[in-house]
Amino acid sequence: MSSFYTRLLQFAQQFQKFYTRQFSPMMEQSGLTMCEIDVLLFLANNPPYDTARDITLLRGLSKSQVSQAVDDLVAEGLLLRTPDQKDRRVVHLSITASGAPLVQRCQAIQEQCSQRLLSGLTPEEQSQFRSLLNTVLNTSIL
């Protein structure tokens, strides 16, 4: 059973490298860092979670990384900061109209990564894999 853990960790590392490599052309074209792309994609893919704190907690990026990425994305006109009307300590983040096309291209890259990851599975197996992964992630202690 211990080889299972080794293989699981190996998969996580290999997938992270593969995933980042797929965004290399986008990073070169846009001048964005992978962290900035991660912030944009997190906000696009998780609409209820729209603060830097949410990104830090749920995406696992450090506060300093998220803070720098948000500052840079705001400066580039890709993100907008909106103070919360009830709690001024909370700042909501949203993708601007000029950032939306870039995010759509990044989401297409994500979809290609997903297709490649699951390409060896039948449609039924892909559905089972997604369902099982959601179950494991929803019940995990992480």
* pLDDT tens, residue by residue, 39-76: 999 999 999 999 999 999 999 899 999 999 999 999 99
Residue 76 DSSP label:
T
Two tokens at 64?
Answer: 């300093």
Report the alpha-carbon distance of residue 121 to residue 81 in Å, rounded: 41
In order, the DSSP letters of 30-68 are H---HHHHHHHHHHHH-TT--SHHHHHHHH---HHHHHH
Two tokens at 84?
Answer: 């919360």
Domain boundaries, the chain: 2-139
Residue 141 above 90 pLDDT? no
Residues above pLDDT 70, as percent of the chain: 97
99: nearest Cα among 21, 22, 37, 34: 37
pLDDT tens-digit readout, 74-95: 999 999 999 999 998 999 999 9
Selecting from 2.60.120.40, 1.20.1260.10, 1.10.10.10, 1.10.10.350, what CATH number does the domain 2-139 have? Answer: 1.10.10.10
Q: 46, 54 in Cβ contact below 8 A?
A: yes
* 3 state SS of 94: strand
* 3 state SS of 23: coil
pTM metric for this prediction: 0.89
